[in-house]
Amino acid sequence: MFNEKIKPDNVDNWKCVYETSIESEASLVKAFLKDQGLECEVLSKKDSAYTVNFGDLSALFVYVPADQAGKAVEALEEWKEGKIDYEGKGEPDEDDENGA
């Protein structure tokens, strides 16, 4: 049990696009993907028998419909590189240095 890495489940017509062990990070990714117009769900593999929130005992997986996976991965890469797509959302506020 402790030697094996927890892997995302195969869910019909859904694809895992992000893995983390931090709940707030999974929530942030979910919110970002929804803001990009994508359907998104978080599947928690957190083991309730243990009170840890890191590593494989606290695995969280972010899923999108399989037909949106390419767009989701691309959006996450752009976000990681700081190239967030503001299409249809207007330009970022000038007051906000981060563009959010």
CA distances (Å), 73 to each of 17, 36, 66, 77, in order? 6, 12, 11, 6
Do the domain assignments include residue 54? Answer: yes
Do the domain assignments include residue 9? Answer: no
Most confident by average pLDDT, 1-5, 46-50, 53-57, 89-93 = 46-50
pLDDT tens per residue across span 85-97:
555 454 455 555 5
Contact partners, residue 40, CB within 8 Å, separation at least 6:
29, 30, 33, 34, 62, 63, 64, 72
Do the domain assignments include residue 4? Answer: no
Do the domain assignments include residue 90? Answer: no
**Residue 56 phi, psi (nearest 5):** -70, -15
Task: Write the CATH number for 29.
Answer: 3.30.70.1530
pTM of structure: 0.70
What is the reported pLDDT for 59? 86
How many domains is the chain built from? 1
